[in-house]
Structure 1
Amino acid sequence: MKTIRLIVIFISIFCVFNSITAQDYYLKGKGPFNEKIPTPKEYLGYEIGEHHTRHDLIVGYLTQLAEISDRASIEVYGKTHEHRKLVMFSVSATENLKNLEQIKQQHLSFVNTNEDAKNYEDVPVIIQLGYNVHGNEPSSAEAALLTAYTLVASNSAEVKNYLKNAVIFIDPTINPDGRDRHTQWANQYQSKNLVSDNIDAEHNEAWPRGRTNHYWFDLNRDWLLAVHPESKGKLKWMHEWYPNVVTDFHEMGTNSHYFFEPMKPIGSWDPIMPKENYEDLNNMFAKYYSKSLDDLGSLYYTKESFDGTYPGYGSSYPDLQGGLAILFEQASSRGHVQDTDYGKITFPFTIRNQLTSSFATIKAAVENKSYLRKYQQDFFKSAVTKKVKSGFGGYEFSVENDKNREKAFVDFLLTHKIKVYKKGNKYTVPLKQPQHRMVQTMFETYNKYRDSVFYDASAWSVANFYNVDYKGLKSVKLGDEVLSTASITNNKPVVKSNYAYILDWDDYNTPAALYYLQNKGLKLASAFKPFTIKTVNGEKSFNYGSLLLPVSKQKMNAEKVFQLVQLAQEKFNIPVFSTETGFSISGIDLGSNNFRVVEKPKAAMLIGEGVNSYEAGEVWHLLDSRIHMPITKIRMQNFRRANLEKYNTLVMVSGSYSQIDSVQKQKLKNWIAKGNTLITIANGAKWAIDKKIAKEQLTKKSKNKKDSIKRLSYVDASEHLGRERVGGAIFQVDLDVTHPLGFGYRNSKLPVYKNNMVFLAPSKNPYSTVAKYTENPHIDGFVSKNSLEHFIKPSASVLVNGLGAGRVILFADNPNFRGAWYGTNKLFLNALFLGSEIRVPR
């Protein structure tokens, strides 16, 4: 009966929406409304749901509400890569807004572990409604406009009660760049006579689609990693307010219905999140959602899918800050109206469900504010009393020979308000602190799980992302608290030399400095063997890959060279050493042929339909944001006419590359054979092997004649198949640090991140296996015994295959994952800068 009712609702909405007002359809029962407050239609010129609303119009409308009403205010908390404003709209009773700073301090007293406030009912509950983190899931941002209007304009007793007992913060568009990309697409293909056919262009965006931000990153995975300005701004706000409730609105497949929490059981064997959060609080709020959606006749489900194991979602990170974060997933119209198995689903229908859940959240939070406040207070108090099963009291870490990577990791910890202490060159992070659970997140590793199929990554020990040397401590001795990282990269200013400068390749920022100097016309050479030499700062040992800049070999005078070196050091905060001699104390002299001139990279990357936009975006972001180097992005449809002779390096991330026919494949092989470098990542490497561009092999499981097919239950198929997938885990490899791809590393043991099913067999050439998984490689995350024993252990992580005078570099794992793998970025950058100097011995 309910299914029939839903079909009728879908069809009726499609037919009559244009003949009714938004007040009737969306806001029934929320009046009376203050007529002095403009409705969204009065500002936009159309009813919510008739078109997709641009981000600037969303900000403009909320700004106008804040200017007109004494119930509201608005602040800019950041800007996107494309310079769109990130705004937070605050709405509450007039008296609350007048005393907002006092309310904030009263609220924070429940977070402060040194206070013991008990006035739970006296302080308004803090609610943060977050919308549209995925740009092409647009219904929630439209609902945000209606939510804001209702809270500002309604004079109903219900809304007034909410305003009295809550401060509500509305973040209408967490991902403005992606939203506007999708908005432009949906509106430009919208017909006056709406087309519901699923195959219509309106419902099928072109690559890279609007889900992601400017660099094609998924911002709903970035709360933990904090790579992008959208996330950094949001985290700063989060740690200023510590809201009691946070919403995370999404969309999913058109033939789905509606999802709200509780999710499927949490996958961790020993979750760091309190059980009270994912059981009691979720079930408490679920009753409000079910009642509200039942009243609409909307179908929904819970418990079957999604998981909150990964702490970097909008629906999980706030859980680790004493709040309740709630995920919503609405079936998407992916345009304005689309056919489904149940009839037609319309944009207004999707918006109304999101609006309904927004107000159900407010109602639940207000009616349970004492419970939420005490829960958050207990959460933070337990953080300073809780003991972990490992018995550790904290962690000690250090980063040798790379001050910029050290600085980046400490900055990262401070971003999450984790207290860090330093004594000598060692850092200590105690577990006894308010961010106890975030400390666990950064350092703990796991090998035992309740679940075997994860919605996302199952490993996120971020200390491994940064390749820091760390260990657990039973007894913690604190040094001085680190409040700033400015002094970490306090390098001695370079002194002018008339002979040579040496740049330390171990430092994370040196590749950026190298490109800067190359772009200014200077020639530098890489050391293919280590050496020790006298510098103006004393005797200094240099590792493989150290850069030599000989003054006499430049086309400019010594003074100009010095000025450029100074600028490079200042810009990238790297160690630079001056020397007046070419005679080394040990190792190669500066005139040795083991110094090889580094060719300036002229790089391109294939993008477009069939290419993994996440991996492509990671390469683009790394080079554009950290190396300050351009890379030409060649769309697949343009590859046929691209002149590859303009480039010496081509990057192919995961993709099908079905548009590359036999003629284009030969074109690629001929280009490589001339001495150029093809860098492949994950499924890009598999493609190169399958197409015989690289003469290597994939690991295959040995067949056992005794193996028989066991009969299994159909209902368990997805679980059984899913557990074999390596969805995101950390493994250890043994790296050849004498190989150009290993330059800049001192320790041959290196953590890598694997989230694919590409397994490279070690090369038959004994010099071509650059990195191989160690005998016991598993560090963190779920991996099945079958995948570990039969595929990972026997395999290589990095190979180099020769082709004519050139080479193909194959990464089985992603060295640039989510912009956060500082520890393996150097592998990729070595391929980019030193690839031309790799000679594959035969």
Structure 2
Amino acid sequence: MVKRLLVLVLLCNTSLYGQDYFLEKYEPYTSKIPSPEQFLGYGIGQHHTRHDLIVAYLEKLSEVSDRASIHYYGKTHEGRKLVILTITTPENLSNLENLKKQHLAFTDPEQNASNYDNVPVFINLAYNVHGNEPSSSEAAMLTAYTLVASESAEIEKYRKNAVIFIDPTINPDGRDRHTQWANTYQGAPEVADPQDAEHNEYWPGGRTNHYWFDLNRDWLLAVNPESRGKLNWYHQWYPNVVTDFHEMGSQSTYFFEPMKDNGSLDPIMPKENYEDLNTLFGNYFAKAMDSIGSFYFTKEVFDGTYPGYGSSYPDLQGGLGLLFEQASSRGHRQKTAFGEITFPFTIRNQYTSSITTVRAAVENKAYMRKYQQDFFKSALTNAAKSKIKGYTFGDEKDQNRTKAFIDKLLLHKIDVYKSGNKYVVPTKQPQYRMVQTMFETYGKYRDSVYYDASAWSVANFYNMKYRPVTSLNLGEKVTDLKGLVTVDPVKKSNYAYVIDWQDYNAPAALNYLQSQGLVLSSSAKPFTTMVGSATKTFGYGTLMVPVSLQKKNPDEIFELLQKAQQEYEVPIFAINTGLNLNGIDLGSAYVSPIKKPKAFMLIGNGVSSYEAGEVWHLLDTRVRMPVTKIPMRNFNRANFDKYNVLVMVSGRYSLNEGQQKKIKDWVSKGNTLVTIGSASKWAVEKKLVKEKLTEVKKDSTEKTMRKPYVDAPENIGKESVGGVILKADIDITHPLAFGYTDTTIPVYKNNEVWLAPSKNEYSTVAKYSADPHIDGFMTEKNRDEFVKPSASLIVSPLGGGRVVLFADNPNFRGSWYGTNRLFLNALFLGNQIRIPESN
């Protein structure tokens, strides 16, 4: 006990320890294998190690040892390698394909393999999904060295009975951002003062990837190459155990599972997973932490309800996902209420848990295999019990959005079939639980406070109209994305072309054509015309390219339209007359030129890097339109007149009156300000616009009820809106809603921004429906007092310009294809909005 308390107070001062601090338990080590210290030239924990050096070390292990081989599963946005080091005995490594075949037999519910104890257990030790939680990647090198080089009988037992896949850095771009910061500000002697620059990264910090996405939320949504590469690898191997190493606040200790109870009323993962297996492994971790004097806690916080974490996604694949949270040194040494916490101390806890995970998995490998087999068999059993036999979906008017949704289904190995003009997903398949994740919605929950979102029915992310069916006509199985979008090749016209604005890729095609010097117009009313020998009706927002009014000749125009169609697969039609059969003609005043957007966005301290990254990612990767990112520190000297669209995402904007006036004056010149979430609330509170927030009148006679102090976090927490899907009614005749054909749309709500509907009859573009709930937890108070009376999207005049106010985030986590169009319309069509004066 005295030793344990000493360790807690000192938190392992590294001046007292060399690398034996980590490694002595598993001696001896073969001299043929270089240790991390020998390879790097410094001891683990003395500095933060760059990702390229981590990869180089694992490559070295693969080069010099027949117990290891390296695999590259992708690259990050910034081009860094994503790698897996496989460690086992030389015999297992040479026989890996056969072992893989035997292992995968347990994931096939049609097979009845029974050699549970004769196949090595497959373990994925995965580290550093949050870049500025760096201790785990250092532990990954120590773990790799131990498992490859140790000659101890214990480690040899693990190599013989396991195939261990080490993914040292899930988020290399974020890690290197933080590594550079921590090493740049490392002092000699080290500075433990929490206020030192070393412990306080500048915005956006290293937590996120290149586009500032939280990759630990991306397993389900798979927007980024890091996640897509890992998922492609994962579904080749289906490991039995997967680790997810993190860091938390410096004043904490250490967390491992079990987590708090799953918040779902009827979790789709087996009860055996979150009760028996987590407890089984948790007992191993407790014993290991006790042995080195580290304090810890379990069950109090964190939850695995959201299926897109690195510690929850494996639970839906017949494996066991394990979360670890280490109090962070946020640099190399930092003062806490318990003394100083050092980087080596944080690494040792993660290293100890890594080896312990292998031990627990090996000692229970038959159990883990039987569990995984039962998991996939129960998928078919559970599906058979349900009246729902499948889901049909599809949007013929927007094939590219449908294609994007199918891409997500296929990535998760969900079977999809084409039946006529619809797609079908049967429930009877091994990935039944992922089918549930994509389509099922919930209104009742066991818990009311969530670590993250309580709603994730992915079909709603895509505004994908779907319905459950009780009988199936499967049709042809979809195996890839080829041929999912079919458009007739554009024919040449010397008069005009029209582009269907309903297609998700239409804004990207518009941006491309504008960047090539063409002038396009948008139709504010529908029309019907002849396309070849057929009659076709075009809706609100249809793009028109007048040939004779361009600076380019007809051949050049036709070539550009062909390129746009080939690149973005959008419907483009040749028109030979301006006289339409119904509706407006092509020369109508309701067909007006579109001004090319020149957008900029405020970033930096106080601004949500998540939301800013979502905007940047959308415009970069899907629209391919540049957006200028201006740091808040450069606000005063920035020349706003170079741009015509300003995006302000959620944040805490501390702009003085002069800076507020700069924005007002710029908008008043005819420009467009787009605000999202709390930025919209800021715009209302600072009176940039004459709009109001929804207010609830308090009853002065209502008495305050006395409640137990211990219940305060739960009672207060349940009133927050952590993430729900709501239904909104939209005005499809408004330019901000051009391209939509249905007057209702799912929106994602994860804030407490409540906009009152505008007093101008024409300014409320989207209002929450009378029955707004689609999916997720929300209190009746929030639903009745805030949601029902509030608006989701308003456009408000400001001088000669306008302010587009989103109460919700239309680009949430890069996955809300269904509401991206509202945001893109604000950018491309905002200057076409002429707000009529209210009566």
Q: Same fold per TM (> 0.5)?
A: yes
| TM-score, length-scaled by structure 1 | 0.99
2:548 match: secondary structure: helix
Asked if the contact 1:740–1:834 (Cα under 8 Å) also holds between the matched residues in 2, the reply is: yes
1:528 aligns with 2:524: yes
1:110 match: secondary structure: helix
1:552 match: secondary structure: coil
Unaligned runs of 5+ in 1: none
The CA deviation at 1:51 is 0.1
- Give the equivalent residue in structure 2 for 1:73: 69
The CA deviation at 1:335 is 0.2
Give the whole-Å Cα distance in 1 for the aligned partners of 2:286 and 2:452.
27
Pairing of 1:335-484 with structure 2 (within 5 A): 335-387=331-383, 391-484=387-480
Asked if the contact 1:10–1:349 (Cα under 8 Å) also holds between the matched residues in 2, the reply is: no
The CA deviation at 1:710 is 1.0
> Which residue identity is paired with 2:805?
L
Give the whole-Å Cα distance in 2 for the aligned partners of 1:129 and 1:158.
18
> Which residue identity is paired with 1:534?
M
Pairing of 1:695-714 with structure 2 (within 5 A): 695-714=690-709
> Which residue identity is paired with 1:775?
A
- Distance verdict in 2 for CA 1:770–1:638, change over 3 Å: same
Asked if the contact 1:110–1:376 (Cα under 8 Å) also holds between the matched residues in 2, the reply is: yes
> Which residue identity is paired with 1:11?
L
Asked if the contact 1:7–1:342 (Cα under 8 Å) also holds between the matched residues in 2, the reply is: no
- Give the equivalent residue in structure 1 for 2:4: 5
Give the whole-Å Cα distance in 1 for the aligned partners of 2:521 and 2:748.
31
1:32 match: secondary structure: coil
1:77 match: secondary structure: strand
Asked if the contact 1:7–1:343 (Cα under 8 Å) also holds between the matched residues in 2, the reply is: no
Give the whole-Å Cα distance in 1 for the aligned partners of 2:750 and 2:810.
11
- Distance verdict in 2 for CA 1:6–1:676, change over 3 Å: farther
The CA deviation at 1:390 is 5.9
Give the whole-Å Cα distance in 2 for the aligned partners of 1:713 and 1:770.
44
Residues 485-508 of structure 1, C-alpha deviation per residue, up to 9 Å, x if partnerless?
Answer: 211212111111100010000000
Give the whole-Å Cα distance in 2 for the aligned partners of 1:342 and 1:795.
47
1:173 aligns with 2:169: yes
Asked if the contact 1:753–1:813 (Cα under 8 Å) also holds between the matched residues in 2, the reply is: yes
> Which residue identity is paired with 1:20?
Y
Asked if the contact 2:8–2:295 (Cα under 8 Å) also holds between the matched residues in 1, the reply is: no
Asked if the contact 1:32–1:154 (Cα under 8 Å) also holds between the matched residues in 2, the reply is: yes
Query: Between the two proteins, what is the percent identity of the paired residues?
Result: 64
The CA deviation at 1:425 is 1.0
The CA deviation at 1:475 is 2.1
The CA deviation at 1:426 is 1.2
Asked if the contact 1:10–1:346 (Cα under 8 Å) also holds between the matched residues in 2, the reply is: no
Pairing of 1:14-29 with structure 2 (within 5 A): 14=13, 17-18=14-15, 20-22=17-19, 24-29=20-25
Q: Which of 472, 483, 498 is the matching residue for 2:494?
A: 498
1:717 aligns with 2:712: yes
Asked if the contact 1:395–1:429 (Cα under 8 Å) also holds between the matched residues in 2, the reply is: yes
Q: How many residues align?
A: 837
Unaligned runs of 5+ in 2: none
2:23 match: secondary structure: coil
Q: Give the superposed CA RMSD.
A: 1.0
The CA deviation at 1:705 is 3.4
The CA deviation at 1:538 is 2.1
Residues 314-372 of structure 1, C-alpha deviation per residue, up to 9 Å, x if partnerless?
Answer: 00001000000000000000000000110000000000000000011000000000000
- Distance verdict in 2 for CA 1:841–1:652, change over 3 Å: same
The CA deviation at 1:422 is 1.4
The CA deviation at 1:13 is 2.3
Residues 612-656 of structure 1, C-alpha deviation per residue, up to 9 Å, x if partnerless?
Answer: 000000000000000000000000010111111000000000111
Give the whole-Å Cα distance in 2 for the aligned partners of 1:425 and 1:811.
34
The CA deviation at 1:699 is 0.4
Give the whole-Å Cα distance in 2 for the aligned partners of 1:463 and 1:8.
50
The CA deviation at 1:386 is 1.0
Q: 427-436 or 47-56: which moved more?
A: 427-436
The CA deviation at 1:393 is 1.5
Give the whole-Å Cα distance in 2 for the aligned partners of 1:12 and 1:763.
57
- Give the equivalent residue in structure 1 for 2:543: 547
Q: Which of 743, 750, 767 is the matching residue for 1:755?
A: 750
Q: 378-387 or 248-257: which moved more?
A: 378-387
> Which residue identity is paired with 1:772?
K
- Distance verdict in 2 for CA 1:434–1:8, change over 3 Å: closer
Q: Which of 311, 314, 319 is the matching residue for 1:318?
A: 314
> Which residue identity is paired with 1:490?
T
Pairing of 1:254-265 with structure 2 (within 5 A): 254-265=250-261
1:28 match: secondary structure: helix
1:109 match: secondary structure: helix
Q: Which of 188, 205, 218 is the matching residue for 2:201?
A: 205
| TM-score, length-scaled by structure 2 | 0.99
Give the whole-Å Cα distance in 1 for the aligned partners of 2:488 and 2:36.
58
Asked if the contact 2:499–2:543 (Cα under 8 Å) also holds between the matched residues in 1, the reply is: yes
Give the whole-Å Cα distance in 1 for the aligned partners of 2:51 and 2:502.
43
The CA deviation at 1:232 is 0.2
- Give the equivalent residue in structure 1 for 2:681: 686
The CA deviation at 1:10 is 4.7
Asked if the contact 1:495–1:536 (Cα under 8 Å) also holds between the matched residues in 2, the reply is: no
2:49 match: secondary structure: coil
Asked if the contact 1:603–1:632 (Cα under 8 Å) also holds between the matched residues in 2, the reply is: yes
- Give the equivalent residue in structure 1 for 2:723: 728
Residues 410-447 of structure 1, C-alpha deviation per residue, up to 9 Å, x if partnerless?
Answer: 11100000001111111111111000000000000000
Give the whole-Å Cα distance in 2 for the aligned partners of 1:149 and 1:361.
16
1:191 aligns with 2:159: no
> Which residue identity is paired with 1:31?
E
Give the whole-Å Cα distance in 2 for the aligned partners of 1:582 and 1:265.
64
Residues 667-706 of structure 1, C-alpha deviation per residue, up to 9 Å, x if partnerless?
Answer: 1101111100000000010010011001100101122234
- Give the equivalent residue in structure 2 for 1:215: 211
The CA deviation at 1:387 is 3.7
Q: Which of 795, 801, 806 is the matching residue for 1:806?
A: 801
Residues 733-759 of structure 1, C-alpha deviation per residue, up to 9 Å, x if partnerless?
Answer: 000000000100000010000000000
